[in-house]
Structure 1
Amino acid sequence: MNTPHLQPELGSAPGWPLVLYFHHVHPTLEHYTSLTPASFARGVETVLETVGEALPPTAITTDRTKLPDRPTVLFTFDDGYRDTVEHALPVLAAFGVSALFFLITDRSTEASGAGAVADPWQAYLNWDDGRELVRAGHLLGAHSRTHRKLTELDPAACQSEIEGSVEAVSAAQGSTGEVHFAYPYGLVPQQPSLPAGTLGFGTVKAPPVAWSGQPLNIRRTYLPTGAEDDWAALCRGWRDQWWATSR
């Protein structure tokens, strides 16, 4: 079904931060949210120059009175693949950007007890990597324990996936604050029982609704792979959408 909200051209709710998501930054992998290191650098530069400055993940809030009075961008990464540290982190550092990394927590635990994995589709960040990200100024988030489709689980199993991943991230991050959550595949269960204060992040499947009105399914979008020449126009569109309402 070709519905408008599935298209990347539709950004966030007007007046709210634009949220971008990536999976891989790798020289050879093909995925709709995977960029080569050079393309990722070009994308970050284009977004910052055209849309607005990067929003530190520690500054995200549903309180409109605390939001910047201009467009901002939150960079997020899903699944916790190792190539994001190897290839994305140097780019983020070069542009002074801090990001939110959503980890599949059981896979991070498994990676902590294993040797190097050659297959980039199976190579995940371990908890030492996660703590290094925190020391570098980034923030960890939860992306379920095993990346199962929460909409296909019974309520108890769904809650185990959510609570277990949130608890693991909180312990690794040494945080007493909120641990934000990204739904696997952007599929939101009927009753997403997230801990109090936790924001829930969807994908392009989510509608562009104000975070204060729908804090458990925040829309994210992406830079289409292989369409670098269209990115500037895409970013101008996102910026224009931000101004499409009075604040």
Structure 2
Amino acid sequence: MTTAPPLVPGIPAEHQPATGSAPGWPLVLYFHHVHPDVRHYTALSPDEFERGMEQVLERFDPYDPADLLADGGPRRPERPTVLVTFDDGYRDNATHARDILDRLGVRAVFFVCTGMLGRRSTRPREDYLTYEACDRLAREGHLIGAHTRTHPHLDRVPAADGRAQTLGSLDDIRERYGPSPARLFAYPYGGVPDQPYLPDDVLAFGTVRSPAVAWTADPQRIRRTYLPSGAADTWAGLVRHWRSGWDGPTALPARPVPTASEGEER
């Protein structure tokens, strides 16, 4: 029997995390920060991140990011799996998230803004990885993907600017990491322009603003979802619901679960 997807109060309908992936395709989670002091709807403290990922991994095996780059397109798993992704390229992804991922046996995709790498600040929201830190992540089996150069709203900027931001970041990744990782992209703010400006072989990830359809049907608008910050009491229900979606879509009306807060993605 199918169950209704849980609603997290305080989050607008278009940002609700309950819808996971198309049946039989990897659940894809996105985070921005793993930091004790950042408040953001996809930012968790290190303890929260580890606890949340442990709950996810009770029902999903890790999806190997290398399978995204298989000949003939991404490999479709035979069992429920989860792909972990991070956006923007913040320094805390290496200083806090990396060790937790290692303990849990998870390899992730880090979608970085290539024009911001190396910027340092005492403010975590303005403190970015260096290319050297990205190199270390890549050596350890993680993938570095493109997320534009400076994080504009691609669905709001002139087409020439969007094309330069998109293709420029793919070129930056290709120059540093080779042609295979340059086939991965994530849209800032989840905003997909009418013309994504992407080569046909690029696999591109949105956010909860993208529909949950088979990757083969729409490989440049892949849906991702998240563990909502400040709502740890909803995670178990979300994970159960995501897992039930592996076998088929749910069809019943949504029902509420306890509270959380929402902010615009960065």
TM-score of the aligned structures, taking structure 1 as reference length: 0.91
The change in CA–CA distance for 1:5 and 1:64 in structure 2 (over 3 A counts) is: farther
Report what 1:54 is aligned to. 62
Report the RMSD for the aligned CA atoms in angstroms. Answer: 1.9
1:34 pairs, out of 33, 37, 43, with: 43
Q: Does 1:150 align with 2:124?
A: no
The change in CA–CA distance for 1:66 and 1:139 in structure 2 (over 3 A counts) is: closer
Task: Give 5+ residue unaligned stretches, structure 1.
Answer: none
1:210 pairs, out of 192, 211, 214, with: 214
Report what 2:264 is aligned to. none
Report what 1:127 is aligned to. 131
1:98 pairs, out of 107, 113, 131, with: 107
Secondary structure at the counterpart of residue 59 of structure 1? helix
Q: Deviations over 1:109-133 (max 9, x none)?
A: xx1xx6x421111100111111111
Q: Does 1:72 align with 2:76?
A: no
Quote the Cα distance in structure 1 between the aligned partners of 2:161 and 2:55.
41
Report what 1:17 is aligned to. 26
Shift of 1:14: 1.2
Secondary structure at the counterpart of residue 221 of structure 2? coil
Quote the Cα distance in structure 2 between the aligned partners of 1:65 and 1:219.
15
The change in CA–CA distance for 1:169 and 1:61 in structure 2 (over 3 A counts) is: closer
Answer 1 or 2: which has greater helix percent. Answer: 1
Mapped contact 2:186–2:205 kept (Cα < 8 A): yes
- The amino acid that maps onto 2:63 is L
Q: Deviations over 1:127-152 (max 9, x none)?
A: 11111110011001100011011112
Mapped contact 2:111–2:185 kept (Cα < 8 A): yes
Name the count of aligned residue pairs: 238
Task: Give 5+ residue unaligned stretches, structure 2.
Answer: 1-10, 250-266
Secondary structure at the counterpart of residue 73 of structure 1? strand
Shift of 1:196: 2.9
Secondary structure at the counterpart of residue 144 of structure 2? strand
Shift of 1:5: 5.2
